[in-house]
Amino acid sequence: MSIAEEFADAESREPAIYWYQIASENGNPQAMQALAILLRKSNCKRAIFWLESYIAHGAGVIGAEPYIQAQASLKNYRAECGH
């Protein structure tokens, strides 16, 4: 379990966001997705950015089903944010 996952499981949002941000900036697709989920309600634009990054960077790694689910989530995020 990563540091970010430990904080997310403990519902410590800010430290989880911090550690997922670091992992995301270093190209970790799973962290990009987790960060998007954490940011969804508090910062819609950043959530969309990280979900788009997850789709772009993780396409060859995450598999077809998660990729399709991420595309659907992105559509929902954009609708919620008015994009």
Domain ranges of the chain: 3-81
Residue percentage of the chain with pLDDT more than 70: 84
Please compute the mean of the pLDDT values over residues 31-51 and round it to a whole number. 93
> Which pLDDT value is given to residue 1?
42
Mean pLDDT for the stretch of residues 6-20: 77
Given a contact cutoff of 8 angstroms between Cβ atoms, the answer to whether 83 and 48 are in contact is: yes
CATH topology of domain 3-81: 1.25.40
What pLDDT does 6 receive?
58
Would you call 9 exposed, middle or buried from its count of C-beta atoms within 10 A (0-12, 13-18, 19+)?
A: exposed
